[in-house]
Amino acid sequence: MSQVQDSHAPYTLYKSDISYFSGKVEAYLKYKEIPYQAKDIDYFSLNEIAYATGVKKVPAIKTADDLWLCDSTPMMQWFEKQYPLNPILPEDPALRFIALLLEDYGDEWLWRPAMWWRWVPKASRLSVGWGLGDSLFNRFLARPIGWYFGFRQLREWLWNDGVSKTNEQQIKDMLFREFEFLEPVLEKQPYLLGSHPSAADFGYFASMFRHFGNDPVSAEVMRREAPNTYEWTARLWNAKPHRLATHQTWSWPEGEHWQPLLKRIIEDYLPYLKQNADAFKAGHKRFDYSGKNFNFNNTHMTHYRVYCLEVLQREYQALPESDRIRVNELFDASGDLAVLLNGVPIISGIAKQTVLPRNPKTQPPQKPGLKALLIGQPRN
């Protein structure tokens, strides 16, 4: 167990077992052996979170001294300062940047296929929807609430967000493209960047565990098509520092098996963040995304993803020149990373919201509106 003297402990983790980011954060807390108790959310605890943080979303963490943490990446980075043993970010600045980039990619780019595989197949939609309705309200309302939630997710995250019959098959197949990358990496080493879990693992874990690895349809696909990845989800969920080598050994992401992922990041994901940020600067709520391999017409401008680009630009531009060159060379075969991350950094205007912990008594949050309180906030 951790020997850290933590005045904020123990923590209460508000979570849902079907939640993309709840699984990510809980796996991290377990790995770092941070003292916490888990609380499955219901309608009333969701409103408690909303009034304390301004957002009606999980995961959220309440400290023993009544402070609050939210947003998985800032949460984990805050905990890294409190619990510095077994860090999830390598000391090597270039590899640290790669870990942060992969975490961000896993968090944000895999969201659409995670939504497709959960809500389009009927067996998955009914199973997850009814289970959610039962946990939030009661078994008598489970079916109508589950039906509504499935309908809302399909509308909000797929059909109203640039997914259409034209590109639906591509969205579905994104899962198989990730398997093609993950399988050879996890055949060679236990975690994505070496001997120990890194931020990259936890970023990928969000979708691969709670969605692809546990939802009824995609879980069977993963077991058959990606056994190394399926095994890795269990390994990360059960990771403990005392079971691993004392010394962390990190690996630079080189080799042909890394190239498909690096190409996706530089050809599609970073251009998506850039075009999303351009739409934000222009005051547009929607835009037509055009990438190397994907097009999302009339997709939402997502404010949080403007912040994602802001952070990546800041981290990249802060790299020592020699490390920036190493990172650029890693992507050279696929494109020019500097073109996407150099220049005047975008300012999202929401960076202050990620400063943790939050104290509702001295930092009253902007309260969510009535609609958000009644039915939640589906978007970042």
> Residue 375: which residues within 8 A CB-CB, separation 6 or more?
152
- Is the Cβ–Cβ distance between 46 and 22 less than 8 Å? no
Other residues' Cβ atoms within 10 Å of the Cβ of residue 243: 8
Order of strands across the sheet that contains 11-15: 36-40, 11-15, 60-62, 68-70
- Is the Cβ–Cβ distance between 200 and 192 less than 8 Å? yes
Looking at the DSSP assignment, which residues form a beta bridge with residue 14?
A: 39, 60
- Per the rule left: phi > 0, alpha: psi between -120 and 50, beta: everything else, 85 is beta
Question: Within 13 Å and on the Cβ side, how many CA atoms surround 46?
Answer: 18
Q: Quick: pLDDT tens for 324-358.
A: 999 999 999 989 999 999 988 899 999 998 999 99
- Whole-angstrom CA distances from 284 to 162, 274, 298, 349 are 15, 14, 11, 16
3-state SS assignment for residue 330: helix
Rounded to whole angstroms, the Cα distance separating 228 from 47 reads 39
Q: 11-85+355-375 sits in which CATH class?
A: alpha beta
From first to last of its 380 residues, the chain has per-residue pLDDT tens of 455 789 999 999 999 999 999 999 999 999 999 999 999 988 889 889 988 888 889 999 999 999 999 999 999 999 999 999 999 999 999 999 999 999 999 999 999 999 999 999 999 998 898 777 777 777 777 788 888 888 989 999 999 999 999 999 999 999 999 999 999 999 999 999 999 999 999 999 999 999 999 999 999 999 999 999 999 999 999 999 999 999 999 999 999 999 999 999 999 999 999 999 999 999 999 999 999 999 999 999 999 999 999 999 999 999 999 999 999 999 999 899 999 999 888 999 999 989 999 998 887 766 666 555 555 555 44
**Which candidate, 9, 109, 155, places its Cα nearest to that of 69?**
9
Helices within the chain (DSSP H only): 20-32, 43-53, 72-82, 93-108, 111-119, 122-136, 142-154, 168-188, 199-207, 216-225, 227-237, 259-264, 270-281, 303-317, 321-331, 337-341, 370-375
Looking at residue 376, what is its pLDDT? 56
**Which candidate, 334, 313, 308, 309, places its Cα nearest to that of 324?**
313
Q: Quick: pLDDT tens for 169-222.
A: 999 999 999 999 999 999 999 999 999 999 999 999 999 999 999 999 999 999
**Which candidate, 28, 112, 18, places its Cα nearest to that of 58?**
18
pTM of this prediction exceeds 0.85: yes
What are the domain boundaries of the chain?
A: 11-85+355-375, 93-349
Q: Which H/E stretch holds residue 90? A: none
**Which candidate, 375, 360, 374, places its Cα nearest to that of 54?**
360
Q: Among positive and negative, which fits the CA dihedral 291, 293, 298, 304?
A: negative
- The distance between the two most distant Cα atoms of the chain, rounded to a whole number of Å, is 61
